[in-house]
A = this chain, B = another copy of it.
Amino acid sequence: MAPVVSEDYKMRKKQEILSSALICFAKKGYQQATMDDIVEQSGFSKGAIYNYFRSKDEIYFEAVNENTSSLQGVVKEQLKQLPASIDRVSFLFDTYLSNNHEDQTERALFQVYYEFRLQSSRDEKIASFLKKRRQDLFINLIRDIVTDGQSRGEIRADLDADILAHTFWGLIDGASICVVTDPDYPYKAALTQMKQMFLDYLS
């Protein structure tokens, strides 16, 4: 029998649940947020939620990771417009500089994301998922830019592109974790200094 509701309809419902769940996880943390919280926040019944997801765990996984890939696509598209490697790196810093951590929702997303990452040391599934994604989407992105820049003489040739990529994301993670854990952290000023250091260092 053909499904009574379209796949698209189901997808939208899932999205609704996921974004409600994300709000709950942000507000209370994964453990403290209850299915009842998600029920209340989403307006769905408990049974309905369990029709879409097998467990709270699965909701967590999907809620935290639903946006990453699509965001990446947008950024990559914009990077293509920039010919110089330095400009590309600069653009990536600017992308993070434009994050508004005074916005509750945005802060919350970051917080949940870092909590999720800290889980990785206890959950092989999370660990391998994050590791693969980090390599594919984040490390390779910078490494390619750097390698490209080195081949064009824009960037010092004596630097290891891979290490530089890890350093770059270390800076981003550093500024992010600080602002998430301290609302008064001078995120923009500090990240701007990091950008300046990093760009100076490249050439």
A residues 155-199 in Cβ contact with B at 8 Å: 159-160, 162-164, 166-167, 169-175, 177-178, 180-186, 189-191, 193-194, 196-198
Q: Which residues of B contact A130 (CB under 8 A)?
A: 181-182
Q: Are A167's CB and B190's CB within 8 A?
A: yes
**CB atoms of A163 and B118 under 8 A apart:** no
CA distance A172 to B170 in the complex (A): 9
Q: Does A152 contact B (CB under 8 A)?
A: no
CB pair A163–B28 under 8 Å, yes or no, is no
Q: Which of B120, B174, B184, B190 contacts A175 (CB 8 A)?
A: B174
Contact with B along A124-165 (1 / 0, CB 8 A): 000000110010000000000000000000000001101110
Q: Mark A91-122, 1 if CB is under 8 A from B, else 0.
A: 00000000000000001000100110111111
Distance of A108 from chain B, by nearest CB (Å): 8
Q: What's the nearest-Cβ distance from chain B to residue A156, in Å?
A: 12
Q: Is the C-beta of A7 less than 8 angstroms from some C-beta in chain B?
A: no
Cross-chain contact A163 with B181 (CB below 8 angstroms): no
Instruction: Tell me if A56 counts as interface (CB < 8 A to partner B).
Output: no
Whether a CB of chain B sits under 8 angstroms from the CB of A13 is no
Supply 28 A–B pairs (Cβ within 8 Å), ascending by A.
A28-B122, A32-B122, A114-B177, A117-B177, A118-B118, A121-B180, A130-B181, A130-B182, A160-B189, A163-B186, A164-B193, A166-B178, A167-B193, A169-B174, A169-B178, A170-B171, A170-B174, A170-B191, A170-B194, A171-B171, A172-B174, A173-B173, A173-B174, A174-B175, A193-B201, A196-B201, A197-B197, A200-B201
List chain A positions with a Cβ less than 8 A from chain B. Answer: 27-29, 31-32, 107, 111, 114-115, 117-122, 130-131, 134, 159-160, 162-164, 166-167, 169-175, 177-178, 180-186, 189-191, 193-194, 196-198, 200-201
7 tightest A-B CB contacts, nearest first: A174-B174, A31-B31, A170-B174, A197-B197, A117-B181, A167-B190, A197-B201
